[in-house]
Amino acid sequence: MWMEYWARVRKARRTPGILLLLLSLAFLVTCGSEVSGPSGSGWNLELVASGPRVGIESDLQVLPDGAVHILYHDSQQHSLHHATRSSSGTWQSEQLDIPGWVGHGIQVEQDQNQNLHTIYQERFTKGVRYARFDGNAWEYQYIQPSLADGSQYSVTLQSDVVHMVELSRDSERFRYWTRAGGAWSQVSAGSCPYDPRPTIQLIVKQDEIIVSSVVIAMVIEYFDEPPYGSFKRPAGYKILVHSSADNGLSWKLTAAVVDSPVGGGIERIPRVTPVSHCTAYDANDDLHIVDRTEKGILTDDRTGVIAENVKNSYLSMQNGPDGGLWLLFQKGSDLVLTHWQPGQNWTEQTRIINASPSGQWGLTLDSDRIVHVSFYNSAQQSCWYATWSSP
């Protein structure tokens, strides 16, 4: 910056003195200005960690006693960290697992006993790793080498069974895993044709397993009997797939797998190519698929367009205690929180100003209708925790 300053001085050596003085003052003011931090009406923001790309990927859970758990990836140290906030407001942080390229694609869930379950990738061996926290110590398991570098994952819980799906970014493969009784088992495997931008999400609802992804098609092959005893074999796997074709259009395929690799009908809906998506069931058991297109248009397939000029590809949607849905996305430098209830349109509730988010953020709601968010602020190079009380 000082080299630029002296270059300006040399260039202006024949400039009248007053103009040179004004130029110098303007440059010094610019150099001394600070980037505005995140803020927002009604939001309480706390700094969790700082440093370039520290917290670039994060997810969080809030336990019934108010304790907050944030897992975040530190790209400087290539490590995974666990930050905890007690009900008194004190933050503590620890490094998890082995050092070296771990913590990509973090997802955290809590079970009915308030144990934490997380999956993430270890890049050296391209392995899928799992960790469980019982409130005192972490237990680690190496599931299996992942399908490919950059694979996408989704994890969810049903009772004491952990469900995970994995979609390869470049090798056109797909796997579905479960963990019951402390052991992981591969339940099914299959393939999906060419897809340059896979995003994947898994929902387990009663006797249905719903997998959604930005792919052209998906075929599931499964074993005759599940390898675990506590899970009743469902009548069929319901697979929802967002698709993109070479002609720039897309369609949605719905396939029910019942005692055959592929069955059921196919419904095609012409749309603009989706880049990312998220899914959730509402209180009426209707599935909402929200996607962002290449042109930044955010759409709910049940209600229509939610917003335009949406910047970041990452989206997060959660069920709320009010029976509605909550959606968090980036617009400009802000994180925008919107809400939907049956019979109403999506409406913006609030936003975190100057959040400047980058990478992956976390979103969850507690029973008191408090919204909890973890995100990385790229302008200030820091990881933040934010809360907002919904009306």
Among 55-64, 93-102, 206-215, name the one with the lowest average pLDDT.
Answer: 206-215
In contact, 82 and 94? CB cutoff 8 Å: yes
Q: How confident is the model at residue 176 (pLDDT cuts 50, 70, 90)?
A: confident
* Bridge partners (DSSP) listed for residue 363: 373
Number of C-beta neighbours around residue 34 at 10 A:
7
In contact, 384 and 338? CB cutoff 8 Å: no
Q: What is the pLDDT of residues 66-81, one digit of tens each?
A: 999 999 999 888 899 9
Among 91-105, 213-227, 313-327, 331-345, name the one with the lowest average pLDDT.
Answer: 213-227
pLDDT surpassing 90 at residue 206: no
**H and E: helices and strands count for the chain:** 2, 31
pTM: 0.78
Average of per-residue pLDDT across 327-349: 95
* Residue-level pLDDT at 218: 40
* Residue-level pLDDT at 154: 85
* Residue-level pLDDT at 10: 43
Q: What percent of the chain has pLDDT over 70?
A: 66
* Residue-level pLDDT at 265: 33
pLDDT surpassing 70 at residue 320: yes
* Residue-level pLDDT at 362: 97
Domain edges within the chain: 1-33, 38-389
Average of per-residue pLDDT across 55-59: 95
Question: Which residues lie closer than 8 Å to 381 by C-beta, 6 or more apart?
Answer: 50, 51, 52, 53, 54
Q: What is the pLDDT of residues 217-273, one digit of tens each?
A: 343 333 333 333 322 222 233 344 433 333 332 323 343 332 222 333 333 333 445
More confident call, 105 vs 328: 328
* Residue-level pLDDT at 349: 96
* Residue-level pLDDT at 306: 95
Average of per-residue pLDDT across 321-350: 95
Nearest partner of 195 among 121, 255, 245, judged by Cα: 245
Q: What is the pLDDT of residues 12-49, one digit of tens each?
A: 444 444 444 444 444 333 343 355 679 988 999 999 99
CATH 2.130.10.10 describes domain 38-389: yes
